[in-house]
Amino acid sequence: MAFIDKAKIYIKSGNGGHGALSFRREKFIEYGGPNGGNGGKGGDVIFRGNKGINTLQRYRFNQHHKAQNGMGGAGQLKTGSSGKDLILDVPCGTEIYNEDMSVKLHEILDDEQTYHFLRGGQGGKGNAHFKSSTNRAPRKFQQGEKGQEATVRLKLKILADVGLVGMPNAGKSSILNFVTNAKSKVADYAFTTLHPHIGMVQKEDLEFVLADIPGLIENASDGKGLGHDFLSHVERCKILIHVIDTTEADPLKNYQIIRQELENYGAEIESKKEIIALNKVELLDEKKEEQIKDKFTSLDRRIFTISAATGYNLDQLTNLCLEYLQDE
């Protein structure tokens, strides 16, 4: 299933059913009174969090959604049935905005969390409602209320405990695949990953959600290389694992570039707990590995030399993530 993290949809709640104009008609009863029933209420539009989905793909091509209208009232004081509510399932982490994205209306963070967005129209009153001591045979009845309508934009920011960040082709997808059951695409060229992938890391009776954030580049905070789209998914991660390709010409400079982009983006991303993972050390000799590691020792960060290809030190890396998460 394709990953879609933005959608624009039109939604409308149901119209209320009309009240009925009806009079009692029975044999031997010449002047039966009014017996028109009320119309049913229109269906509401409700957003609901669903942990079983992680994309807005269902709303990419199906952009018009309407709740059911209420049924009209009938004679014999019969009330019309209410329209069925329209429930729109969205991934946890979905934000709901007005059409021009100027106002965030709500956000869905939890499974089964609901947000009643549009109320259905009330059903109209039948003529029996208007009977009085001075008007024994009213011909008055009400139309049902119109439903509400709106065009909204949905934006998904993935909910993950730990996010893998770094330059393209640093080995983030390989790490995710090794420590989880995810099947993220891996290849030896930049931007293999074009959208976030998530997986579950399980350690005995403990677990956490790990996200592979697509590779960031210089000026990502200004939107270069889909930077804003990628960085938005980092916002809700509690811990960042900064993956560095140690075979690059200047690994420390690459680290500094991404750190600067995190700071430029804002949203307090730069203040999150961070672990540095020096990847692809299986391609280095021992001397080169130590030289690169020494360049990072001045940073106030936990540093791991790892190999996503062989699994070297990945167990220790995920253990530290659990330790940090338990301190949250």
- 65-115 residue pLDDT tens: 999 999 999 999 999 999 999 999 999 989 999 999 999 999 999 999 999
- Short-list 169, 171, 69, CA closest to 122: 69
Q: How far apart are CA 280 and CA 309, in angstroms?
A: 7
The residues, any chain, with a CB within 8 Å of residue 135's CB and separated by 6 or more, are none
Helix axes 251-265, 286-296, angle to 10 degrees: 30
Reply yes or no on whether the pLDDT at 277 is more than 50: yes
30 in the Ramachandran plot: left (φ > 0), alpha (ψ -120 to 50) or beta? alpha
Q: How far apart are CA 123 and CA 144, in angstroms?
A: 5
- Short-list 286, 290, 303, 226, CA closest to 261: 226
16-68 pLDDT tens trace: 999 999 998 877 666 678 999 999 999 999 999 998 888 898 998 899 999 99
The model's pTM is 0.72
The DSSP element (H or E) to which 201 belongs, if any, is: strand 197-203
N- to C-terminal Cα distance for the chain?
A: 33
The full length of the chain comes to 328
Q: How far apart are CA 38 and CA 29, in angstroms?
A: 23
Amino acid at 47: F
Reply yes or no on whether the pLDDT at 177 is more than 80: yes
The DSSP element (H or E) to which 172 belongs, if any, is: helix 172-179
**Mean pLDDT over each residue of the chain, to the nearest integer:** 87
Reply yes or no on whether the pLDDT at 218 is more than 60: no
Give percent of the chain with pLDDT exceeding 90.
61
Confidence of residue 2 (pLDDT cuts 50, 70, 90): low
Mean pLDDT score, 168-179:
90
Q: How far apart are CA 227 and CA 214, in angstroms?
A: 9
Q: Which domains does the chain have, with CATH numbers?
A: 1-156 (2.70.210.12), 162-327 (3.40.50.300)
